[in-house]
Structure 1
Amino acid sequence: MNKTIYIVDDDENVLRALKWLFESMNFEVKTYSNAKTFLEQYNPDHTGCLITDVRMPDMDGLELFERLKRQNSLLKVIIITAYGDIPMAVKAIKAGAIDFITKPINESDLLKLIKKCLEHYPNLTTNAMSKYELLTEKELQALDLIWTNSSIKL
Structure 2
Amino acid sequence: MEHSRSRPLALIVEDDDAVRRSLHLLLRSIDYDVRAYATAARLLASQPLRAARVLLADYRLPDDDGIEVLRRLRTIGWRGRAFLLTGFATPELFERASDCGYEATLEKPIRPCELIRLLRY
Q: In which range does the TM-score fall when normalised by the shorter chain?
A: 0.7 to 0.9
Q: Which has the higher contact order (CA 8 A, sep 6+)?
A: 2
1:25 Cα shift? 2.4
Aligned-residue Cα RMSD (Å) equals 1.5
Q: Percent identity?
A: 27
Alignment of 1:61-80 (within 5 A): 61-80=66-85
Q: Which has the larger radius of gyration?
A: 1
AA paired with 1:23?
A: R
75, 86, 89: which one pairs with 1:84?
89
Alignment of 1:2-151 (within 5 A): 3-116=8-121
TM-score (ref. length: structure 1) = 0.70
| Structure with the higher fraction of residues in helix conformation | 1
Count of residues in Structure 1 that have an aligned counterpart in Structure 2: 116
Q: Residue by residue, what CA displacement relative to the aligned partner does 1:21-53 show, whole Å, maximum 9, x if unpaired? A: 121222211110011000000434313100000
1:20 Cα shift? 1.2
Note the residue ranges of structure 1 that are not aligned, 5 or more in a row.
Answer: 117-154
CA contact (8 A) 2:50 2:77 kept: no
CA contact (8 A) 1:35 1:59 kept: yes
Note the residue ranges of structure 2 that are not aligned, 5 or more in a row.
Answer: none
TM-score (ref. length: structure 2) = 0.88
